[in-house]
Structure 1
Amino acid sequence: MNLSELVRRACLTECTARKPGNVYPGADFADLTYAHFVAAAHVAAETLPAAAKLGVGPAVLNCVRATRRECGTNVNLGIALLLAPLCAVPEDVSLADGVGPVLAATTVKDAWAVYEAIRLASPGGLGETPEQDVRDEPTVTLTEAMTLAANRDRIARQYAVGFDDVRIFAERFPLERTGKWESATTFLYLMELSRHPDSHIARRCGPATAEEARIRAEDVVHKRPERSDWPVHRRAARELDRFLRGGSPRRNPGTTADLTCAALFWAGRERLIELPTEDELAAHAARLVRQGGGA
């Protein structure tokens, strides 16, 4: 498949899987719906593949601008930040070999474009930082700026570690031999959440709440049956879903979802897995809507 199709299918797979605490078919938030994510997937597919030609920063900014026009809200800033560098890797080079040079080549111009994208997207819980605050003009490259934020944001961390976390996440997909794309996606999402407090929750609700979400996800993972099409204990998953959807502000693990999307892209691009087709995803989404979206 070409790069645009790969971006679209990775985004659609991530948002269609029933992941506790996130939007999926039949489980919308009042201000953010599955339709928003479907529209954003098509926008990402149209804009992010240009990263190789335009640069990582401009591709991210174009994606966020187009998403705001299409959806009127921030849907995919994190996904754009993760997928743009991966889309910039030449197609005849593996992501493991190619993403490092892409990150090393980012510029102050890339940082400026990403800062503008972040200001436009206005992600929840964005505070001030002593160095290279997004409200100021950057004086370092994009990778340098993201490295400064790596200890508090797992998306920024990928720029500092050469996307190693995403690579390791992606390499788990072939090992998750449920035979079901949704089961593998949801279980690995929960594994990621159980291992690392979600940055989005930490920004919006504080580190203690992010740690509580991590512990609750760990409990669900430990209750997984040995063999099941649905790879988590249903009651525990529903309880986790209610906890993550509750509160004000919401405790939804947006960063973990974005990392899941990036891992799906990596696994699909490196042919570690076969991503479901758009027709398969649409049919699955329709079934979930008829069922009310329940886990």
Structure 2
Amino acid sequence: MTTAIDTDRPQASARSLHRRVGLSDLHVFPLAISGNVFGWTSDVMATNGVLDAYADAGGNFVDTADSYAAGRSEIMIGNWMRDRRNRPDMVVATKVGKSGDNPGLSARAVTASVHASLERLRTGYIDLLYLHIDDDTVPFEETLFAVDELIRAGKVRYFGGSDHTGNRLIEARIAAAQMGLAPMVALQNHYNLLHRTEYEGDLARVADRQGLGVMPRFALGSGFLTGKYRSRADIAKNERGAEAAKYFNRRGLRVLACLDRIAAAQQSSPGSIALAWLLSKPHVVAPVASASHPEQVADLVAAARVQLTRTQVAELDKVSA
């Protein structure tokens, strides 16, 4: 079932749903649209359609990386913002560390990567910069100094981690405090109903203590939690089915059955319910999810308006434990 979104509602309605990213002054729609398929499975027309549908529904938070489609994702997002003249309305997050041109997190690589991203995105600043990897070949202080210089220069507003352990986040906060550098405000980590342990231990505790805004990636389990994979045949006929195959087991099917029941009660969809469950968790600001076609966007943004009951959250907690 697809949840209808009334795109004629006043924009203030969407703004009233915005959540603050950690201790920053960024306020975002509680669903970030991912650019990981832009320039890969989505061509220019599909990408523009997805971004238009997302913005029309009140979305303002776009997540990409310099390594997505070798930079083409950033180019397509930048061209879309230029053509729609909406850069001031959007919060743009990108990541550095994995690009082929500037790999790693040395000061030189971080600076060169950000400048390249700014050019591709056709913008003068990045709202939220993630360190896409934890590069243990480079002193953490070197990376933090490089990011701080970019922030002081106005080229980056805030930054966060994307592949860091709780201990490394603590180390970063201590180093920033000692050296007077900008602290992390956000964390992006693999987190969904079928992948909980990695985040819900040390990372959740650190996010709480540091006031980090959490943006779960792989929020829909590579599409499995949308209900699109109901059989092995469904997995076999989809080009991205192999990514969801690991969830096709008894536990995964039990979670999907629970999502179906709650979706029926909420007059919603399984994917919307899976995202709403994430939004019920402390410090989660905006799950990151992708759409290859404009018609897929409605179920994603609908999650922002789903109000799960305590019983429904508890049911999902239990079945996914």
TM-score, with normalisation over the residues of structure 1? 0.34
Structure exhibiting the larger radius of gyration computed from Cα positions: 2
The structure with the greater share of residues assigned to helix is: 1
TM-score, with normalisation over the residues of structure 2? 0.32
The structure with the greater share of residues assigned to strand is: 2
